[in-house]
């Protein structure tokens, strides 16, 4: 094979890899934003936290198109907004299906497992993000307008840890333990889901 053909093949495959990476970046970004808002909507209702007006309007306007039709099929039961949770899973399914289709590797079993894995990542790292925001607020500005909202969202996770782990010298170490437990939970869930593949 002539050297020129090898160079053009390499350039073609490199260009294709860059296209896949850019496509994945766009799909992942859109999916994370929408699914994150849907999961936040679910969690706010689960812990009975009312969002500030501007955040609530933003969240509802971006997610109502999916949640309202899903509520006809799956109404809220037990005080939980199951339509928002299902919507987040459907976003995961769609994003994984698009990525697998563009790579010509579409199959149902990997689609379901990778979608569940995406949900595990979004939930686990979403809680970690909320904890980071609470820690930053506590150091920088504990009286920030969003601080009570973030604190209320983290409270169901932090309350049991704070009962067991007392502050040492005025420093609350329970967020550090929560970070570790959440990371361990994500690793265990990854291992279980990938072990099914």
Non-local (6+) Cβ contacts of 88 within 8 A are 34, 35, 38, 39, 42, 119, 122
pLDDT at 10: 60
pTM value is 0.86
Cα–Cα distance measured from residue 8 to residue 180, given in angstroms and rounded to the nearest whole number: 47
Beta strands in the chain (DSSP E): none
pLDDT of residue 181: 97
Going by C-beta distance under 8 Å and a sequence separation of 6 or more, which residues neighbour residue 133?
146, 150
State the pLDDT at residue 110. Answer: 83
DSSP assignment, residue 173? -
**What's the sign of the alpha-carbon dihedral 45, 46, 52, 54?**
negative
What pLDDT sits at residue 18? 83
Centre a 10 Å sphere on the Cβ of residue 35 and count the other Cβ atoms it contains.
26
Distance CA(126)–CA(32), nearest Å, equals: 10
Do you know the residue count of the chain?
A: 197
Using CA atoms, how far apart are residues 146 and 167, in angstroms rounded to an integer?
A: 24
Instruction: Give me 12's structure tokens.
Output: 């073609």
* Residue owning tokens 């094979």: 1
pLDDT tens, N- to C-terminus, the chain (197 residues) = 555 554 555 665 566 778 888 999 999 999 999 999 999 999 999 999 999 989 999 999 999 999 999 999 998 888 899 999 999 999 999 999 998 888 776 777 888 999 999 999 999 999 999 999 999 999 999 999 999 999 999 999 999 999 999 989 888 899 999 999 999 999 999 999 988 86
pLDDT at 194: 87
Mapped onto helix, strand or coil, the DSSP state of residue 171 is: strand
């Amino acid at each position: 094979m002539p050297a020129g053909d090898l160079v053009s093949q390499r350039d073609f495959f490199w260009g294709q890899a860059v296209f896949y990476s850019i496509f994945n970046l766009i799909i992942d970004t859109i999916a994370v934003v929408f699914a994150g808002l849907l999961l936040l909507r679910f969690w706010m209702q689960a812990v009975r936290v009312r969002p500030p007006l501007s955040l609530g309007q933003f969240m509802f306007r971006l997610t109502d198109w999916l949640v309202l039709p899903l509520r006809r099929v799956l109404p809220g039961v037990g005080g939980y907004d199951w339509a928002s949770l299902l919507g987040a899973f459907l976003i995961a399914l769609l994003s994984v299906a698009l990525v697998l289709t563009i790579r010509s590797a579409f199959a149902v079993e990997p689609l379901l497992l990778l979608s569940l894995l995406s949900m595990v990542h979004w939930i686990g790292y979403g809680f970690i993000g909320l904890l980071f925001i609470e820690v930053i607020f506590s150091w920088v500005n504990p009286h920030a307008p969003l601080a009570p909202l973030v604190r209320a969202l983290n409270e169901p996770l932090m309350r049991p840890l704070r009962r067991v782990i007392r502050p040492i010298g005025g420093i609350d170490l329970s967020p550090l333990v929560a970070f570790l437990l959440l990371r361990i939970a994500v690793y265990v869930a990854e291992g279980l889901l990938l072990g099914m593949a």
